[in-house]
Amino acid sequence: MASIFTKIISGEIPSFKIYEDDKYLAFLDINPNAIGHTLCIPKTEVDEIFDLDDETLSGLIIFSKKVACAIKKAVVCKRVGVGVIGLEVPHVHVHLIPINKMDDMSFDSKVKLTENEFIEIMKKIKSFI
Ligand code: 5GP
């Protein structure tokens, strides 16, 4: 069965898309740790990051760099934290999370955004890509 993220790629499930090319997609996390929390995924459905072939893995990091640089310009933060968890969705994804302190990488604290707030931050990040 297709993963939630494969359904997001196809448009079957809606998302706030930030950027995509033929191999990768970036979209806002629906339950963000912080405003601007973005997921970068390969369009090929693979569960674990280190099962990706080297070319797809290195391409994912370079793609994530482009998106992280745009997030850094769009959101006031000290860093854009990078994380790979994958306990919930078995489709490789890189979390890009604007952070000011270590605790901001904790998945225990979440922010609630309205649809308009999602749209606003999506547009802002996109404008820096
Ligand atoms: P992980 O697999 O890394 O533990 O967590 C999966 C992440 O995907 C979570 O941060 C969760 O909020 C996000 N997520 C799960 N389902 C959806 C969805 O349908 N849309 C979006 N945009 N994000 C999702």
Q: How far apart, in whole angstroms, are the C-alpha atoms of residue 97 and residue 91?
A: 18
pTM (global) more than 0.85: yes
What per-residue confidence (pLDDT) applies to 93? 98
Instruction: Output the average pLDDT for the chain.
Output: 97
In the reported structure, the alpha carbon of residue 121 is separated from the centroid of ligand 1 by a whole-number distance in angstroms of 17
Q: Is the CB of 14 under 6 A from ligand 1?
A: no
Q: Determine the structural domain holding residue 41 and report its residue range.
A: 4-126
Q: For position 2, what pLDDT does the model report?
A: 86
| Residue of 37, 91, 93, 95 with catalytic role | 93
The answer, yes or no, to whether any atom of ligand 1 lies below 6 A from the CB of 31, is yes
**93 flagged as catalytic:** yes
Q: What distances in angstroms separate CA 13 from CA 5, 6, 10, 64, one per listed residue?
A: 8, 9, 8, 22
* Domain count of the fold of the chain: 1
Atom of ligand 1 nearest to the CA of 31: 12
Q: Mind listing the pLDDT tens digit for each residue in 67-123?
A: 999 999 999 999 999 999 999 999 999 999 999 999 999 999 899 999 999 999 999
pLDDT band at 22 (very low <50, low <70, confident <90, very high): very high
Cβ of 83 closer than 6 Å to ligand 1, yes or no, is: no
Tokens 């997030």 sit on residue: 71
- Dist CA 102 CA 57 (whole Å): 26
CATH number of the domain where residue 74 is located: 3.30.428.10
